[in-house]
Amino acid sequence: MTRQRVAMIGPVPLHWGRGGKWWGGGVSTHVAGIVPALEACGVSVDLLAENATTLSEAPRSRTAKVVPVTHSWPRLVARGGRALPRMASRLLANPKWGQRIPAGQALRYLGLAANYRAFLGTVQSPLLHVHNARHAQFLCQEVVSTDLPTVVTVHGVKTLLMPSPRWLRSMVLENYGRADRLIAVSSFVRERLVQFGAPAERITVIPNAVDSERFCPSDTEDARGRLGLPTLGFVVLFTGNLVPLKGVDQLVTAFARSAARKHGTLVIVGDGPEKEPLQRLVGELGIADETLFVGARPLPEMPLWYQACDVFATPSAAEGVSISVLEAMSSARPVVTTLPEVGEHDVVTDGSTGFLVAFGDVEGLGAALDRLLRNPVHARVMGDHAREVVVGRCTWPEVARRTAEIYRETLLESRARRTDSN
């Protein structure tokens, strides 16, 4: 039986430096998970790892053809070939946007377009699946001029919800209108896509997923011992990029005002531009002794951090469905997260698998932490229920099966359109 093939564009988790640091945002983690899951259900993937520059950074796979990007201009010119001037003119002067792309961004996009042209010219895939709607689909369809049927997975809509340049919003909205099918990672994302004009009939909700065998409950005391954490006391965990969007300053403030401060530790796993401001805030609030910044940690180590905590908290301003939330739930930990601009309410049921508070409600965030601290038995019950939800709905085999079905439907619809036009 011939395996179905798909050309995929998206980021992957990266390892860098001698210190063993890893970068693994939610989208990259999703791509790393769905490629082998698709292969297991009969889909071969040709993957352009758009943030990898060497094959050593790209994920290993038995059947996937993985191609890193290049930022060397001589190689980019070679990849773009005679089409490069035409690609540049089309990129810089699209009248639909009302203004031109900034020069620096245009050069980056032109380099990506050359990579996409070379990639799509060497693979034999009848379908394109894009995981970064900001630019990849536009560049492939507008600049590279491919007519491949296209599926776009929309991992979040913060470009539309948060202040963004006019040209970028226009590009993203145009992408949604061009896609043959859109996969939204939550009902929240679907609702916002429809709100901004995406055709509802083309949108299917397929949640993010997690490896429930890796992220599983284990002995908390043992995990803390292996990580060098206090074996006693209440541990609140945050993992993610330290950027304003994540609202970590709200978590720090809520922790400082809560009873949890007197009984435990706030552990912050991650790195980013907000790290130093957050460290200053911790000092100003007088909780330096109760707060631990551990930086970015190797991805294989992450299950231990969830096993070591009592509750996972992420007061983000805008998310599709956070991979970190799913990892925590899969580890049987209750979750405290925010409403309304997140998709977590698809998996987090207030009072059942965790608590939902309004973004910016520092008092409500602290109160949720205190409720879990004062009711450890109920917290464990909530954690067990959280794992049941994830195992039942958010596994990679199920997500891959549903994604492969979208591929089959998209190809059938494309063939029907070509038949009708002939």
Averaged pLDDT, 380-407: 94
> Is 20 a residue whose pLDDT tops 70?
no
Q: Report the alpha-carbon distance of residue 83 to residue 114 in Å, rounded.
A: 9
**Cα radius of gyration (the chain):** 22
Q: Please tell me the predicted confidence (pLDDT) of residue 296.
A: 86
> Is 374 a residue whose pLDDT tops 60?
yes
> In the structure encoding, which two tokens stand for residue 278, read together?
């957050």
Nearest to 246 by CA among 295, 315, 335: 315
Report percent pLDDT > 90 for the chain.
Answer: 41
Do 365 and 179 contact (CB within 8 A), yes or no?
A: no
- State whether residue 265 is helix, strand or coil: strand
Average pLDDT, the chain: 84
Confidence of residue 139 (pLDDT cuts 50, 70, 90): confident
DSSP annotation of 83: G
> Is 342 a residue whose pLDDT tops 70?
no
Q: Report the alpha-carbon distance of residue 327 to residue 281 in Å, rounded.
A: 28
> Is pLDDT larger for residue 169 or for residue 126?
126
> Is pLDDT larger for residue 123 or for residue 281?
281
E strands present in 203-263: 203-205, 234-239
Confidence of residue 17 (pLDDT cuts 50, 70, 90): very low
> Is 91 a residue whose pLDDT tops 90?
no
DSSP annotation of 395: B
E strands present in 284-362: 291-295, 311-314, 335-339, 354-358
Averaged pLDDT, 328-352: 80
> Is pLDDT larger for residue 115 or for residue 366?
366
Q: Please tell me the predicted confidence (pLDDT) of residue 188.
A: 83
> Is pLDDT larger for residue 352 or for residue 171?
352
Confidence of residue 381 (pLDDT cuts 50, 70, 90): very high
Averaged pLDDT, 306-324: 85
Strands 21-23 and 14-16: antiparallel
Among 106-120, 177-191, 282-296, 317-331, the range with the most confident prediction by mean pLDDT is 282-296
Q: Report the alpha-carbon distance of residue 236 to residue 306 in Å, rounded.
A: 10
User: Is 242 buried (19+), middle (13-18) or exposed (0-12) by CB count in 10 A?
Assistant: buried
Q: Please tell me the predicted confidence (pLDDT) of residue 408.
A: 95
Flag the least confident range among 7-16, 238-247, 297-306, 340-349. Answer: 340-349
Q: Please tell me the predicted confidence (pLDDT) of residue 98.
A: 46
Confidence of residue 24 (pLDDT cuts 50, 70, 90): low
> Is 310 a residue whose pLDDT tops 90?
yes
Q: What does the pLDDT look like over 233-266, one tens digit per residue?
A: 999 999 988 988 889 999 999 999 998 888 889 9
Q: What does the pLDDT look like over 109-128, one tens digit per residue?
A: 788 888 888 888 888 889 99
Do 217 and 237 contact (CB within 8 A), yes or no?
A: no
Q: Please tell me the predicted confidence (pLDDT) of residue 18.
A: 44
Set out the domains of the chain in order of their start, with CATH numbers: 4-209+396-421 (3.40.50.2000), 220-393 (3.40.50.2000)
